[in-house]
Amino acid sequence: LLVNNRLYALSRSNTDAYISNGVNDCPKSCLCSNGILIDYKNVQLLSQFVSSQTGMMYPRTYTKICMKKQKQLARAIKRSRTMGFMPYTYKIPEYLNDPKLF
């Protein structure tokens, strides 16, 4: 997880301990435990929770964050897209210069 040019390592053993029945019930997710505030202007943070191929937000079971933070992220991503800070769809930069097939 990269926030404000700091790399936070998420150890798999700590996150697996909080998962029961495929749902994360952890009150101390990576965002909560590090005290990271979710802001719609922080595109670097928000883009880590959005798929680069589809532009869709990753599900809670994949990101291992609590429901409260997932809802805050969804609101922040929606607001950021509405205000023009983030694009609705993504295209991988390496493929921008590829020749057209059709």
**Domains defined along the chain, listed by start:** 12-95 (4.10.640.10)
pTM, rounded to two decimals: 0.63
Residues of the chain with pLDDT under 50: 10-22, 24, 101-102
pLDDT tens-place string over residues 21-47: 445 455 566 777 777 889 999 888 888
Task: Report the C-alpha gap between 26 and 18 in whole angstroms.
Answer: 5
What pLDDT, on a 0 to 100 scale, did the predictor assign at position 75? 96
Residues 6+ away with beta carbon under 8 Å from 102 = none
What pLDDT, on a 0 to 100 scale, did the predictor assign at position 99? 62
What pLDDT, on a 0 to 100 scale, did the predictor assign at position 83? 94
Residues 6+ away with beta carbon under 8 Å from 83 = 40
What pLDDT, on a 0 to 100 scale, did the predictor assign at position 71? 93
Neighbours of 58 (CB within 10 A): 15
Residues 6+ away with beta carbon under 8 Å from 52 = 90, 92
